DNA sequence: GTTCCGCATGAATCGATAG
DNA sequence: ACTATCGATTCATGCGGAA
């Protein structure tokens, strides 16, 4: 694992380098991206700094200026992403002056004009969300996980994230009735039929587009970003081992650690030197 | 409970009429709304027909024309809503040609230009979502519940929807299957639709903006679009007894039944006569 | 009465086929 | 090419009848 400067960005040569790499690049995200080759990244997972009215905070960008700031970056991400790759963007609009701001929606519409396909919106349901009470709203316990693609034929390995079937299956499949064994078409014209016998022996079901995960509260240094399970889930779903995962706002390195654990190469970009160092420490701890 | 024609729409006179009313109006939503007085409604809860490409289907509106169709209606809703009232809109965009359509986002932005405040977005997490498998996406298990207001000083009675905490989780956990625990931790801590009165003496907590509920699929006659707990929850949260609840797309009458059970007056508008009759039947069954 | 079990049903979406 | 229709896929829930 190396810390590169902005000057020198050569991607992995997998013929001469068989080991999994986790590069951490210190620098401004947009500058670094501009030096990266086209179509080279298999998956982008990131949680950019949220919009904030307070300028003092880390990367604070005013909500009204957010799209203006972020769109040049997504343009570079579009260029560097492999045509079969995916971009997963974790974001949530702030409540400002009693209202949810619309910058996220404006960004989705603008990104489509850049050429992105807005394939899906997953929900990250945060089990242990930030406590608090306000007179006009409840606690915010979910964030958006926006999936963008460059083409309809993107890679997706659904079997890698299957989950155990519900208990109902055990009893349901014990005794198959005659109608179960052949195709039984719905009577009400919904066009929906069933062939239950196909389920026999199946232990796993596919998940939905709602992910329920707790936030990680343990890490004191970096202000609670996403839990490692989050990038892990998308890395398993959208890449294969030795693919290249990019996080342009690496922070404490969660994405790179998740990628390394799953035998994927990774590139992380981070503008703050202390976070860079923290990310490297976290990755090295994993390398053992 | 009365069925009115479009000609005659006089709202409740609460001085001479003490009983709770549930009016069902047969007619085109926009026409009916135009005859209603300003600032007269305390809560609007509705689930308009979703965009659909097939013209044969009931209310099928092409996604590209959806905002154009719906915005004149929201303009009337804005006029008829009490300044302290709330509008809750249940909606979800379709996946078309491999992409999520952007008409819902465009509508939010357009409604703000009409003068609405977009206060919050609740998530309805549907536990039993529609089955199916596709190469490029998982099953869709959530819908939007968009909260709009006319002013920042809207009424909100948070205490009415508190949920028990403390030992509740323990007793509740016992009833969860092993699979539930592994798959969906959100079942613990949702407590949606519970009657608060039975938890007197226990510690109560406020809910979050993620609501976990199953759809109602069992009824053979006409399946309700959303479960009754959904309007009930918002009615408790945003109104007091004898307030007026409006559903401009009444369907099978779920909103009116929920309002009646909670001692709120209601007005339901429905364009199809058979649904009108069904709604009346459902309300009458409740009246006993 | 309880508990158990069989069964229909659903705001869906994609790809192929037909006009 | 472009649009409309059709067939295939799939899982959690609540009801009602049986044990």
> Is the CB atom of residue A172 positioned under 7 angstroms from any atom of strand C?
yes
Q: How many CB atoms within 10 Å of residue A46?
A: 24
Identify which of A137, A74, A141 has the alpha carbon closest to the alpha carbon of residue A104. Answer: A74
The whole-chain average pLDDT of chain A stands at: 83
Q: Chain B partners of A125 at a C-beta cutoff of 8 Å?
A: 123, 125, 186, 210
Residue by residue, DSSP assigns A230-277 as HHHHHHHHH--TT-EEEESS-TTSHHHHHHHHTT-EEEEEES-HHHHH
* pLDDT value, residue A218: 54
Residue by residue, DSSP assigns B125-181 as EETTPPP---SS--B--EEEEEEEESSTT----GGGG-EE-THHHHHHHHTS-HHHH
Least confident of A29-43, A146-160, A184-198: A184-198
* pLDDT value, residue A203: 77
Tell me the C-alpha distance between A247 and B159, whole Å: 42
Least confident of A12-16, A130-134, B135-139: A12-16
Asked if residues B101 and B65 have their Cβ atoms less than 8 Å apart, the reply is no
Q: How many CB atoms within 10 Å of residue B27?
A: 18
**In this predicted model, what pLDDT tens digit does every residue of A235-272 receive, in sequence order?**
999 999 999 999 999 999 999 999 999 999 999 999 99
> Is the CB atom of residue A186 positioned under 7 angstroms from any atom of strand C?
yes
**In this predicted model, what pLDDT tens digit does every residue of B29-54 receive, in sequence order?**
999 999 999 999 999 999 998 888 65
> Is the CB atom of residue A202 positioned under 7 angstroms from any atom of strand D?
yes
State yes or no: pLDDT of B125 exceeds 70: yes
Two tokens, residue B166: 């403390």
Yes or no, beta carbons of A98 and B208 under 8 Å apart: no
* pLDDT value, residue B202: 59
Identify which of B282, B131, B101 has the alpha carbon closest to the alpha carbon of residue A195. Answer: B131
At CA A66, angle to CA A34 and CA B89, rounded to 5?
A: 130
CA distance to partner chain B, nearest, from residue A266 (Å): 24
Tell me the C-alpha distance between A255 and A245, whole Å: 8
State yes or no: pLDDT of A167 exceeds 90: no
Two tokens, residue A247: 């996080």
Tell me the C-alpha distance between A149 and B114, whole Å: 33
Higher pLDDT, B199 or B241: B241
Distance A270 CA to C11 C1' (A): 43
Question: Residue A130: left if φ>0, alpha if ψ -120 to 50, beta else—which one?
Answer: beta
Q: Taken in order A133, B45, B114, B101, is the CA torsion positive or negative?
A: positive
Residues in chain A whose Cβ is within 8 Å of chain B: 95, 97-100, 102, 105-106, 108-109, 112, 117-121, 123, 125, 127, 129, 133, 135-142, 152, 154, 156, 158, 163-167, 206-210, 212, 214
pTM score over 0.75: yes
Q: Give mean pLDDT, residues A178-199.
A: 42
- Chain A CA closest to residue B222: A188
> Is the CB atom of residue B55 positioned under 7 angstroms from any atom of strand D?
yes
CA distance to partner chain A, nearest, from residue B154 (Å): 8
Ranked by mean pLDDT, which of A76-80, B161-165, B190-194 comes out on top? A76-80
* pLDDT value, residue A193: 41
Distance A191 CA to C8 C1' (A): 13
- Tell the residue number behind the tokens 């399970």, with chain if given: A229
Q: Taken in order B147, B153, B154, B155, is the CA torsion positive or negative?
A: positive
Tell me the C-alpha distance between A177 and A143, whole Å: 43
* pLDDT value, residue A213: 87
Task: Name the residue among B99, B142, B207 with its Cβ closest to that of A119.
Answer: B99
Two tokens, residue B19: 């009983």
Identify which of A9, A27, A11, A42 has the alpha carbon closest to the alpha carbon of residue A245. Answer: A42
CA distance to partner chain A, nearest, from residue B69 (Å): 20
Two tokens, residue B100: 């999520």
Q: How many CB atoms within 10 Å of residue B11?
A: 15
pLDDT grade, residue A175 (50/70/90)? very low
* pLDDT value, residue A179: 41
- Residues with Cβ within 8 Å of B169's Cβ and at least 6 positions away in sequence, in order, are B188, B189
């Amino acid at each position: 694992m190396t810390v590169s400067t902005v000057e020198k960005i050569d991607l992995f040569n997998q013929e001469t380098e068989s080991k999994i790499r986790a590069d951490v690049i210190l620098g401004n995200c947009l500058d670094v991206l501009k030096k990266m080759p086209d179509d080279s990244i298999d998956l982008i997972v990131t949680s950019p700094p949220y919009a904030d009215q307070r300028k003092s905070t880390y990367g604070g960008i005013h909500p009204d200026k957010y799209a203006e700031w972020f769109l040049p970056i997504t343009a570079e991400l579009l260029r560097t992403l492999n045509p079969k790759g995916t971009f997963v963007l974790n974001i949530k609009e702030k409540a400002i002056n009693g209202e949810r701001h619309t910058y996220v929606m404006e960004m989705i519409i603008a990104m489509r004009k850049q050429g992105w396909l807005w394939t899906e919106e997953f929900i990250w349901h945060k089990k242990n969300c930030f406590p608090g009470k306000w007179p006009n709203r409840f606690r915010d316990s979910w964030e958006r996980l926006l999936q963008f693609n460059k083409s309809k034929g993107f890679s997706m390995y659904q079997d890698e994230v299957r989950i155990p079937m519900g208990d109902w299956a055990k009893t349901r499949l014990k005794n198959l009735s005659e109608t179960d064994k052949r195709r039984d078409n719905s009577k009400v014209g919904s066009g929906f039929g069933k062939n239950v016998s196909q389920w026999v022996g199946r232990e796993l079901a596919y998940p939905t587009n709602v992910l329920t995960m707790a936030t990680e509260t343990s890490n004191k240094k970096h202000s609670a970003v996403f839990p490692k399970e989050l990038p892990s889930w998308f890395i398993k779903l959208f890449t294969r081992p030795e693919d290249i995962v990019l996080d342009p706002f690496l922070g404490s390195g969660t994405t790179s650690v998740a990628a390394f654990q799953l035998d994927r190469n990774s590139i992380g970009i981070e503008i703050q030197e202390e976070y860079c160092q923290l990310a490297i420490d976290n990755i090295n701890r994993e390398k053992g």
